[in-house]
Structure 1
Amino acid sequence: MRKKRRRNKKRIPIFPLLFIALAGYAGWSVHPTFEGIGYGIACYFVLYIMLKLWLKSRKTAKLRKSGIREVDQMSGEDFERFLGELFKRRGFKVSYTATSGDYGADLILKDGQDVIAVQAKRYSSSVGVKAVQEIIGAVKMYNATEAWVVTNSHFTRQAEKLADINDVYLIDREELIQLILNKK
């Protein structure tokens, strides 16, 4: 016997429509014409965009104020965003790669002619050879002139040896603390 498939009907979100209707009503009550409705709805969208930008700036400000203790509690994606903000403050142009299928780089930094592929590793234990191998592969993929691996932890000796042979710059916990303290 065949099972009946349920069709997923796309539901229209009710709350945004309700707020738009309320904004239209507020515009109508101030100026009882269609222009008044339009002004009310336009004001709603302007306020909505301003609220979204304000919330985003608050999150960015929180990341900028984070210290090493906060870094230790971050998720991997938050750590990448934190590093992006840290490097922006140091004058780099920062772009983020996709969260999956990133070919080994999490951030791409640009400083003049230099392109730097950065692998971010927020770990509670030591970072091994795999992180260095990943960033070595990312260098050609992103046409990078340098490769960095940044961690809130430390690197194994094997990772340090491989990085030394392949000119990969390693930023460990102590150097990251210095970068955080010398933000400017």
Structure 2
Amino acid sequence: MDDILFNLFTLTFLFILLIFLVYFRSEAKHRERILEMEQRLSKAGIYDIDQMKGIEFEQYLAVLFKRLGYRVKSTPGSNDYGADLILENGAERLVIQAKRYKNKVGIKAVQEINSAKAYYNAQEGWVITNNYFTSSAINLAQSANIKLINRNELVDLILRVNGTTSEENVVSN
């Protein structure tokens, strides 16, 4: 009877050990994939951004702001209350609406981030695009104290983060 209990205990222990090994191996692979994605995204230029899907642009911005020292949290794909990213730096919290568009970004994005700013109790709200903004979006952003980052300002931000002084490096990647 003791041998059976010992064998049962040993098998149970080995099974649990196997589960932990499989779990930690998959976690390590997951972390490795994330690091590879972050490295690839960190090398992207503005023309690469123009080809990204919306979610890829959000991931790109997350990497960019992590490199600036922010803690970055992505919101759910739906029911995000108007924010794609939540950035924190000490007591400061800001929300970002990412718009990877082929056309100018309109007033709706400003309305959404303004709502998100209140919902997430953020001090600032930003809309970041690879394009430009309509005049109505600019007007509303000014009155609502929302920061708009257009294509040119995004390139400047990328240059600053990458420590590059030449726009050619950001544009040609």
Which TM-score applies when normalising by structure 1?
0.75
Distance 1:131 1:44 in 2: 43
SS in 2 for 1:102: coil
Distance 1:106 1:44, change over 3 A: closer
Q: CA deviation at 1:68?
A: 0.7
1:150 aligns with 2:128: yes
1:85 aligns with 2:101: no
Q: Which residue of 2 aligns with 1:58?
A: 36
1:134 aligns with 2:112: yes
Which is richer in helix? Answer: 2
* Aligned-residue RMSD, C-alpha: 2.2
1:11-60 deviation per Cα after TM superposition (whole angstroms, max 9, x unaligned): xxxxxxxxxxxxxxxxxxxxxx97xx77x946655544333322221111
Match runs of 1:100-115 below 5 Å: 100-115=78-93
Q: Which residue of 2 aligns with 1:173?
A: 151
SS in 1 for 2:121: coil
Distance 1:165 1:59, change over 3 A: same
Q: 1 or 2 for the larger relative contact order (CA 8 Å, sep ≥6)?
A: 2
1:182 aligns with 2:160: yes
Q: CA deviation at 1:146?
A: 0.7
Residue from 50, 56, 59 that aligns with 1:72: 50
Q: Which runs of 5+ in 2 are unaligned?
A: 1-9, 163-173
Q: CA deviation at 1:182?
A: 1.2
1:57-115 deviation per Cα after TM superposition (whole angstroms, max 9, x unaligned): 11111111111111111111111111011011111111111110111111111122211
Question: Considering only CA atoms, is the larger Rg found in Structure 1 or Structure 2?
Answer: 1
Distance 1:93 1:46, change over 3 A: closer
SS in 1 for 2:104: coil
Distance 2:119 2:161 in 1: 29
Q: Which runs of 5+ in 1 are unaligned?
A: 1-32
SS in 1 for 2:81: coil
Identity value in percent: 43
- After TM superposition, the runs of 4+ consecutive aligned structure 1 residues lying more than 6 A away are none
Distance 1:79 1:43, change over 3 A: same
Count of equivalent residues:
152
SS in 1 for 2:161: coil
Q: Which amino acid aligns with 1:55?
A: R
Q: Which residue of 2 aligns with 1:119?
A: 97
